[in-house]
Amino acid sequence: MKTTQCPSCGAPVTIRAADSLYVICEFCRSTLLRDENHLTNIGKMAELMDDPSLIKIGTQGKFKQQHFGVIGRIQMHYAAGVWNEWYILFDDGKGAWLSEASGEIVISFPADYKGSIPPFESLKPEAQIKLGNAVLMVTSLQTALCIAGEGELPFKVQSGYEANSADLREIAGQKRFATIDYSETPPLVFAGTSVAFKDLKLTELKNGSVPVAVKTEAFNCPKCAAPLNLHSTQIECIVCPSCRNFIGVENNNIKLLNKAITGKKITPTFPLGSQGTLEGIAWEIIGFMQRTTNPSDKNYAWFEYLLFNQTEGFAWLTEYQGHWNFARTLSAPPNVPKSLPAFEYLSRKYTLFASDNAIVTYVLGEFYWQVSKGETVLVEDYISPPFMLSREVSSKEVSWSQAEYIEPEVLYAAFDIKKLPSPRNLVFSNQPNPYKPTLGGIISTSLMLVAIATLIQLYFLFFEPTVMVQTKKISLSQSASQHILPEFTLKYKTRMLRVRHQTSLHNNWAEITSTLINKDTGEYQQGSLSIAYYYGIDDGESWSEGSSRDMMSFRNVPAGNYYLIIDAEAGATGTASGRVSDTVTVTGNPTTWSNYILALIGLAIIPLFSLFRSIAFETRRWNESDFSPNGQLQSDDDEDE
Amino acid sequence: MFKNNLIIGTLVLILFTGAQTRGWNLFETGPGPKPLSGNSRTYHK
């Protein structure tokens, strides 16, 4: 570090970097060309815009474990707003750029790239460029204007200096970033990485520390004199909440941009200025807009709230028919072609849900670009509930944001909104399926219960097997008859003794009464059966009724010696013998499968009900989509139905 | 719903085990009078 005198005003000028070519005197704003140890005044630099950035010359930080200090800055202006490019110097003498734009911080190093670079005019958003081995996607094309500079810089910088630049990003999951600066021939390439403000562990910040409260600059609307606030120099446009005129903001100067929005006034659910904490970050609502895919139908409109935090930049809340999302711009967006049915991003599968033009129809408050009514971008939504990735494509820029569904009650509490959330009538695109989390548990529990039921059934099948007690063929006649079957012994208590009758009834009936008598105790159990079997032909069509066989059971029969008495009577047989045969089969502990089947049905009711509810929820979700779950575009006929 | 499934499933298992142990069967008659088996005609083509 060296200190010398400004040749213009005599004030001390500190030079920290060995390779700084230009130094801007912080007292008289002279741009000083450095030659050996001499400084030559080559002109005055414009005043810097008053800046809410927490970074200043002298701020210290760490990037990839390497310490750096901020030694210079240029302020750039482009169509969407203003950003700072801070020149930083690492301890090993290497210089880099730290850029702040829309709340995103990127650290870029000059890349020694000698290959061919396509001309600026040939580039389009989402075009792919190969630089060396890396394939990068064009995300932004801008013509930027240098407003002012300060401190030490590695090149000559002048106010009003204009340069074309292209921002490029690498494939999903990586935060690598590149900028092609077309201000020189051949163009300069900078390779960078997107970093979070907190990861830089910055010290020596402006005001000494990270301020919590947002400092605002107050002024009056040039049309209606209503008091307005300006939260950041990145704000390019304010729509006066009183008169709804569009007011442009440039270099702290304000001017009327467009006439007021006519039509019905919309009152935001969350008023401008509302403050709340989401994901541990304090946000303030500074802007509100309505967008739609169909301006003639209010059912297609949704609301977007612009949130601001001094260190985190900007974020969004979206509101559609009682559904809310919290969204932030992605620093490492996916690299996928337009309208791809599905893709994987950070280990989640995202499926295309909607693709349409979004048109701005109503605006209030502050925005970091010059928003206007009628502004249109192509929006594609990919869902992986509770997340949603949205691609917005304009002629100059492609941006991706990731939204996460927020339960309205949580959001209302976070912003201390006292009124009740609006009812949610439909299933939103990325609304979490409330039945899905428990479905897996319910199905696995039911499978476990089915396994237990099967084990129980197997136990009865193998450890209490069916025992054949006796089979006897008897004859039933038209007059009542009694048949005493041979005596048999049950060694153990029998839970079920089944008596099966297989008769030769044809267009006939039989009344059968079975009496099971314990020979030792004289106790008995009795049961009756009516068997009837008829068949014939009516009007040329054959029919049958009943069955020639049936069975009955005696339950919980104690061990002992038994005999079975069959009292039977049959109807007129019409045969010469007048007799009907009946084969009586007695079995002990027959394994019944009907109870097992009933148990399985009982165990399946709740899982099937839960599955049905979950599928119905997903069906309602996809009914709102232009695409079926497999990514095929639905026909217009389907949409009309 | 998870709790309900567990409670109802356990009850079903208890009922099933009880039915198998005691020889209950919905589709089989026990001792006592029973209506005529088959009281509706089935037509065959």
Inter-residue contact A133 to A162 (CB < 8 Å): no
d(C-alpha A510, C-alpha A376), whole Å: 86
Please report the residues numbered 3 through 42 in chain B whose beta carbons come closer than 8 angstroms to any beta carbon of chain A.
4-6, 8-10, 12-13, 15-17, 19-42
Whether A525 has its CB under 8 Å from any CB of chain B: the answer is: yes
| pLDDT for the residue numbered A44 | 66
Name, of A96-110, A610-624, B14-28, the range with top average pLDDT. Answer: A610-624
A541/B8 touch (CB, cutoff 8 Å), yes or no: no
Looking at residue A397, the DSSP 8-state letter turns out to be: B
**Residue A468, exposed/middle/buried by CB under 10 A (0-12, 13-18, 19+)?**
exposed
What ipTM did this prediction achieve? Answer: 0.77
Return the pLDDT at A45: 63
Mean pLDDT value of segment A135-146: 83
> Which one of A490, A494, A545, A611 would you mutate to disrupt binding with B, by most B Cβ within 10 Å of its Cβ?
A545
Peptide bond into A187 cis (omega under 30): no
Chain B CB within 8 Å of residue A498 CB: yes
For chain A, the average pLDDT equals: 84
Q: Compute φ and ψ for A603, nearest 5 degrees.
A: -75, -20
Phi/psi of residue A554, each to 5°? -105, 135
pLDDT in tens, A355-375: 999 999 888 888 887 777 888
Closest approach of B22 to chain A, Cα-based (Å) = 6
User: What does the pLDDT look like over A437-447, one tens digit per residue?
Assistant: 899 999 999 99
Residue A303, SS3 per DSSP:
strand
pLDDT at A366 (0 to 100) = 85
Tokens 């005198």 map to which residue?
A5
State the Cα–Cα distance between residues A307 and A288, nearest whole angstrom.
Answer: 9
One-letter amino acid of A521: T
Sequence-distant (6+) residues with CB within 8 A of A23 are A13, A15, A31, A32, A34, A39, A151, A152, A153
Give the residue from A442, A518, A526 with the most B CB atoms within 10 Å of its CB, the best one to mutate.
Answer: A442
Rounded to an integer, the average pLDDT of A138-144 is 84
**How far apart (Å, rounded) are the C-alpha atoms in residues B16 and A594?**
10
Residue B38: list chain A partners with CB under 8 A. Answer: 532-533, 545-547
A481/A579 Cα distance (integer angstroms): 11
Instruction: Dig out the tokens for A68 from the structure.
Output: 């750096």
| Residue-wise pLDDT tens digits, A230-261 | 776 667 778 777 777 777 776 556 666 666 56
Least confident of A74-78, A378-382, A406-410: A74-78
